[in-house]
Structure 1
Amino acid sequence: MSDLAPFLIALPILTAVVAFLAGLVRSESGWPVAVVGMAGQAGLAGLLAYRVFTAGRIQYVVGGFEDTYGIELVIDGLSASMIVLIAAVALGVLAYAHAAGPRSNAFYTMYALLVAGLTGMSITGDVFNMYVFLEITGLAAYAVVASGESGRSAVAALKYLIVGTVGASLFLLGVGYAYIGTGTLNMADLSTGLAAVGYTSTLVQTAFAFIVVGLFIKVAVFPLHTWQPEAYAGSPDSVSALIAALVSTVAAYALARITLDVFTVEFLAANPLARDLMIAGAIVSIVAGSALAVAQTEIKRMLAYSSVSQFGLVLAALSVTNETALIGAAVHLVGHAIMKGGLFLTAGLVATGTGARTVAAYEGLSDRMPVAAGAFAVLSLAMVGVPPMVGFAGKWYIALGAVEAEVWPLAVVILLSTLLTLAYFVRLIERMYFREATPLSDEAAAEADAGSPTSDTVLADGGRVTAGMYLAVLVAAVLAATLGLAVVEYGRLLEPTLNLLLS
C-alpha cells in the first residue's frame, strides 16, 4: 500500500482550485500555477511508477473501508504507464501553451481538472468511480475545446458534449446492470461476481455491451467517431494536442481494463460474437479512418481521422488478447500519445509561423521552417511505422500477436495499415521537401502577419513562434524516434501485470 496514491488525484484538483482563486486576484496568472502543479504531478507519477516496476502493484483503499463499498485505487504496470504519460504530456503541452494560449485562469482550471479526471480513470479500482472520473474528464474536455475564440470551437464543444454524454450514459447503464447482478462495484469483486452469474447470461452480456459501446464512443471507434474530427480541428492548437494525446488514449486504457480486469478473457472465450465484433470494429476503424484521413485537406482534420485508424490497432490487440498483442497495445498507446500530440503541436507551430493550415499550404515548408518541417517528418515517419521508431514497435507486436492467435484477416489489415498511414503522410513530406513554396492567400497572410487569425487559435506574439513551442515539438520528435529502442525492456516490466490480467 502507498499513501501517496490519492495525491495523484488530489494534486491536480488543488491546482485547479488555486488557479481559479489566483484569477480573482490577477488575470492570466494560471500558467505558473499549472506548471508547479503539473511538475509536482510528474514527479509523483514517476516515483509511484518506479515503486510499481521495482516492488509490485500498489493498492490503496480510500478511507480504510475494506468491505464491498470501499473505493480502491490500484496502480500496476499499465496504470503506472498511464499516469506517467498523462503527467508528462500535460507538462509538455504547458510549455507550448505559454505562448500559444489560451491564457485565462479559467482555462488552466479546466486543464488541471482534465488531468485529475484522466488520472482518476487510470488508477481507480471501482467501476462507478471510473464513471465519475469519466464525467469529470468529459466536462473538462468540453470546456477546454470551447476555449477557442471562434464559433467553430463552441460548435465543436457542443457536438462533443452531446455525443460524449451518450457514451457516458451507456457506460453508466452497463455499470448498473453489472451491479444488479453482483451487488458490488469493485472491479476485482465484479470479476468474481460476473463469473458466478455466468458469462453467457443475458444480464452479463448486456452489461458488457453497454459499457463497451459507451467506451467505443469515447475512444472514437468508427462509426462512433463523429465527435472527434471537429473537436480536434476546432480547438486551440494546444488543446488539440492535449486531448488528441490523452483523452481517447485513457478511454482506450479504460476499455482494456474493463475487458480484461472485470469481464476477463474467459468472457470473450465464452462469447465469440463479442470478440468477432471487436475484430470487425478494429478492421473497419483502421481502413475507414485511413481512407477519411487521405480525403482531408485541413491538417488537423487529417490528424483527427488518423487517430480513428490508430485506435483501431489498439482495439485489434484487445480482441486478440494474448501477451504479445497486449504489449503492443501498451506501447502503441504511449507511442501514439507522443506522436499524435507532437504532430498537433507541430501543426500549430507551423500555423503560428506561416498561417498554413491545409495540406496545400505545406508546400516548401522545409525552406520556410526547416526545424518544424523536420520534426513533422520524423513524427510522420514514426506514425507510419518506420523502424526502429516507437510506431513500428507497437504495430509489430500487435501484428505478431494476431499471427500467434491465427487471426489472419486482422494480421493482414494491421500490416496494410502501414501503407494506409503512408498514403496520407507521404503527400505532406513530399510537399514539404520536394515542392517550392507558393504564396499564401491574402487571408492566410493577414493571419500570419497581423496576429488576428480567422482560425480558432490566437497566434503567439502576433505570428512569432517561441523557444518553448519549439522545445515541446522537438522533445516529442526525439521521443518518437528513440522510445522504440526501449520496448523489449518495457515489455519485460509489463509481464507481471499482463500475466495477472490473462490468468
Structure 2
Amino acid sequence: MSVLLALVVAVPLLGAVLPLLVGRRSRASRLLTGGVLFVQFGLAVAVTAAVSRHGRLSYVVGALPSEVGIGLAADAVTSVFLLLVAGSAVAFFVAVRTEHTAYGDSLWLLLVAGLSGVTVTADVFNLYVFLEISGLAAYALVATGRGASAALAAFRYLLVGTAGATLYLLGVGYLYVATGTLSMAGLSTALPAIGYDSTLVVASFALVAVGLGVKIALFPLHTWKPAAYATSPADVSALLATLVSTIAGYGLVRLTFEVYTFGFLTDVPAARVALLVAGAVSVVAGGILTLRQTDVRRLLAYSSVLQFGLVVVAIGLATPAAVTGALVLLVSHAVSKGGLFAAFGLLASDFDLKTVADYAGFVRDAPLFTVAASVVFASLVGLPPTAGFAGKWYVALGAVAAESWTIAALVVGSTLLSLLYVGRVVETMVFDSSTTDASDRVGGESTVQSHVRADGGRLHSGSLTRASFVLAVAGVVVVALGLWSSDLAAWFHPVVEGWL
C-alpha cells in the first residue's frame, strides 16, 4: 500500500503532460484533466484508508537508501491535508473553472502535484523541490488573469516567492552541513547529537521559518498575496487561497516538530519567543490592514495574515492543545477562504461586484448567497459551532495550559478584530439599502437588465448559482468540522502526542 504515496504525486505530475498533447481542444483537455484529478482524489482517499488501518506509511522511490532516495511518508495529519489538496483541486475544477486551455489545465495539475509532494515528502530538500514546482505553477496561473495588473502581481509573486524559497534552501544547506543527511527522520535524531543550540542549527531554523513565512504570508512578508489573489481568475484565486499558504503552514508545523522537535524549542527559548512574537505581530497588523480594505477580495487576502498569525502563535506555544488548534485552524481556514474567494471572484468577474459597497442590500437579490456567506464568515471570526471556533478554542486552551495569558488575550482579541471586518461586510449585505437597484453595481442599466435583473428583480445567472452552491457547501463543511471537531482532534492526537 505504501506505493500509493508515490502514485499520489506521480499521477498529477505525469498527467500534466496530457492537456498539452490535445492542443487547443478545450473539451478534451477538460476531460483529461478532470479524469486525472478524480484519480488523484481516489488515491488520496486510499492513502487515508491505509493510514487508518495500518498507521504511518513510508516509501522510498526505487527502494534506495533513505539518505539518498526520495522518501515519502504519511500519517494521520498528512492524510487530512492530502485529502484537502486533492478534494479542493477537483471541486474547484468542476464547480468554478470555466475557461479551459491546455496550458492552464497543465499548470493546474502541476500545482496539485507540487502541493501533494510537499504534503507527503519525508526529505527536507525534496520539500524544496515540490515547493518550487507548486510555486512556478502558481506564478503562471496568476499571470493568466486579464490585464497588466495580473502580470505585475504575478511578477511580484515570483520575486517574493523565489526569495522565500531561496531562504528555505539556505536553511536546508545548513542542516546538511551540520548533519550530513536530508531525511526528516535522520535529522530528528542527528540534531540533538550535535546540540540544538549549535549556530548552524539555530541559523537553519531561522532561515527555514522565514522562508516558509513568505509562503504563508506572515506580516511583513505578505505583500505578494493581496494583489495576486485579487487579480487572479476566480478558480485560480480559490485554489491558491485554499492550498498554497495552508500547505506551507502545514510544512512549518511538520518541520518544527518532526525535524527540529520539541527539544529544540525547549533548549532554544529564543526560537519559541520569535514564533510567538512573529505570530502576534501578524495577528494585530493583519487585523488592522484588513479593516482598511474596501475591495472584498483584498479584504479576504489581508485577513489571512491575521489567521496564519494565529497558527504561528500556536506553534510557538507548543502544547498539545495549541498544536491541534493550529492544524484545525489550517483546515477550517482553507475551506472558508476557498469558498469565499470562489464565490466573490465569480461575481466580480460577471457583475463587476468588487467592493464592499457593491454588495449593499445584496440579501434581496441573493438570499442564499448572503446566508451561506455569513456562515462561512462566522468560521473566520471563530463563532460556534464552526471549525474556526474549534481551532481558536484549542489554541486558547493551549495558551492557558502554558500560562501564557497574553496569548490567550490575543486569541480573544483576534476574534474581536475579525468580527469588525466581517461585521462590516455582512451588515452591508443585509442592512445597507444605499444601493437600491442592482444596475448601480455594474454601472449601466442596459447591461444590468440583460445580464443581471429579471423576474421580480432577483439576480439570475449561472455564476450566481455556482457561487451560492460553492458557499453553501463550504458553510456545511465548516459547520460539520466544528460539530465533529473532537473527532478531528482525536484523529490528529496520536501524531501530535508523538511530537510533544
- Equivalent of 2:274, from 257, 274, 277? 277
Native 8 Å contact 1:28 1:105 kept in 2: no
State how far apart, in whole Å, the 2-side matches of 1:367 and 1:117 are: 42
Summarize deviations over 1:438-478 as a string: whole Å, max 9, x none.
44677933599489x9xxxxxxxx96426544433321121
**Residue deviations 1:9-42 (CA, integer Å, cap 9, x gap):** 0111132111121225x24532222221111111
Asked if 1:487 corresponds to 2:485, the answer is yes
Aligned equivalents of 2:184, 2:330: Cα separation in 1: 22
> What is residue 225 of structure 1 aligned with on the other side?
222
Question: Structure 1 residue 302: deviation in Å?
Answer: 0.2
Instruction: Give the Cα separation in 2 of the matches to 1:448 and 1:249.
Output: 42
Residue pair 2:353, 2:359 contacting (<8 A) in 1 also = yes
Distance in 1, matches of 2:439 and 2:281, equals 37
Counterparts of residues 375-394 of structure 1 (less than 5 Å): 375-394=372-391
Contact 1:353 1:464 (C-alpha < 8 Å) held by counterparts: no
Secondary structure of residue in 2 paired with 1:216: helix
The DSSP-based 3-state class of the residue aligned with 1:73 is strand
Asked if structure 2 preserves the Cα contact closer than 8 Å seen for 1:355 and 1:447, the reply is no
The equivalent position to 1:136 in structure 2, one of 133, 138, 155, is 133
Q: Specify the alignment match of 1:174 in structure 2.
A: 171
Distance 1:317 1:443, change over 3 A: closer
- Can you give the 5+ residue segments of structure 1 that lack an aligned partner in the other structure? 454-461
Question: What CA distance in whole angstroms lies between the structure 2 residues aligned with 1:399 and 1:342?
Answer: 26
- Greater Cα offset, 229-238 or 161-170: 229-238
Contact preservation (8 Å) 2:66, 2:183:
no
Tell me, in whole angstroms, the C-alpha distance in 2 between the residues paired with 1:245 and 1:421.
Answer: 19
Q: What is the rounded CA distance, in whole Å, between the counterparts of 2:443 and 2:105 in structure 1?
A: 30
CA distance in 1, matches of 2:182, 2:479: 41
- Match for 2:305: what amino acid? V
Q: Distance in 1 between matches of 2:159 and 2:327?
A: 29
Residue 353 of structure 2 corresponds to: 356
The answer as to 2:412 corresponding to 1:415 is: yes
**Residue 442 and residue 382 in structure 1: after superposition, are their counterparts in 2 closer, same or farther (change >3 A)?**
closer
Correspondence 1:315-326 to 2 at 5 A: 315-326=312-323
Residues 405 and 430 (structure 1), Cα distance of their counterparts in 2 relative to 1, 3 Å cut: same
3-state DSSP class of the match of 2:68? coil
Name the residue aligned to 2:50.
51
For 1:473, the equivalent position in structure 2 comes to: 471
One-letter code of the match for 2:472?
L
Query: Secondary structure of 2:145's partner?
Result: coil
Distance in 2 between the 1:445 and 1:35 partners?
37
2: CA distance between counterparts of 1:428 and 1:67? 51
1:6 maps to amino acid: A
The corresponding residue for 1:165 is 162
Q: Report the alpha carbon displacement of residue 257 of structure 1 after superposing the two structures with TM.
A: 1.1
Alpha carbons 1:200, 1:270 under 8 Å: kept: yes
Identify which range, 291-300 or 437-446, moves more after superposition. Answer: 437-446
Tell me the alpha carbon deviations over residues 73-115 of structure 1, each in whole angstroms, 9 at most, x when there is no partner. Answer: 00011111110001111111112334xx332121110001000
CA contact (8 A) 2:157 2:228 kept: yes
Pairwise CA distance, 1:237: 1.3
Shift of 1:149: 1.6
Relative contact order higher in (CA < 8 Å, ≥ 6 apart): 1
Identity of aligned residues (%): 45
Answer yes or no: is 1:36 the counterpart of 2:42. no
Shift of residue 352, structure 1, vs aligned partner: 4.5
- SS state of the match for residue 4, structure 1? helix
When residues 443 and 375 of structure 1 are mapped into structure 2, their CA distance, relative to the original with a 3 A threshold, is closer
Residue matched to 2:455: none
Conserved 8 A contact 1:71-1:186: no
* Structural mapping, 1:54-453, within 5 Å: 54-98=53-97, 101-352=98-349, 354-436=351-433, 437-439=435-437, 444-445=442-443, 449=447
Equivalent-residue separation in structure 2 for 1:370 and 1:443 (angstroms): 17
Question: Displacement of 1:67 after TM fit?
Answer: 4.6
Judge conservation of contact 1:354–1:463 (CA < 8 Å) in 2.
no
Q: Would you say the 8 A contact 1:117–1:134 is kept in 2?
A: yes
CA contact (8 A) 1:449 1:463 kept: no
2:238 maps to a residue whose letter is A
Q: Which residue of 1 aligns with 2:456?
A: none
| Deviation, structure 1 residue 353 | 5.3
Alignment gaps of 5+ in structure 2:
452-459
| Secondary structure of 1:358 counterpart | coil
Aligned partners of 2:369, 2:352: CA distance in 1, in Å?
13
Deviation of the 1:329 alpha carbon: 1.1
CA distance in structure 2 between the partners assigned to 1:464 and 1:48 by the alignment: 35
CA distance in structure 2 between the partners assigned to 1:95 and 1:470 by the alignment: 15
Q: Distance in 2 between matches of 1:348 and 1:67?
A: 44
TM-score with structure 2 length normalisation?
A: 0.94
Counterparts of residues 454-469 of structure 1 (less than 5 Å): 464-465=462-463, 467-469=465-467
1:287/1:121 CA distance change after superposition, 3 Å = same
| SS of equivalent residue, structure 1 residue 69 | coil
1-structure distance, mates of 2:206, 2:180: 19
CA shift, 1:377, in A, is: 1.1
SS in 2 for 1:293: helix
Pair 1:377–1:353, CA change in 2 (3 A): farther
Can you list the C-alpha shifts for 1:182-228, whole angstroms capped at 9, x where unaligned?
11110110111111111111111111111111011111111111111
Q: TM (normalized to structure 1)? A: 0.94
The answer on whether the counterparts of 1:177 and 1:203 sit within 8 Å (CA) in structure 2 is yes
Q: Secondary structure at the match of 2:294?
A: coil
Q: CA deviation at 1:375?
A: 1.5
- The residue aligned with 2:454 is none
Partner residue of 1:457? none
Counting matched residue pairs gives 491
Match of residue 458 from structure 1: none
Q: CA–CA distance in 1 between the matches of 2:240 and 2:349?
A: 19
Residue 498 of structure 2: aligned partner: 500
Equivalent residues of 2:67, 2:183 under 8 A apart: yes
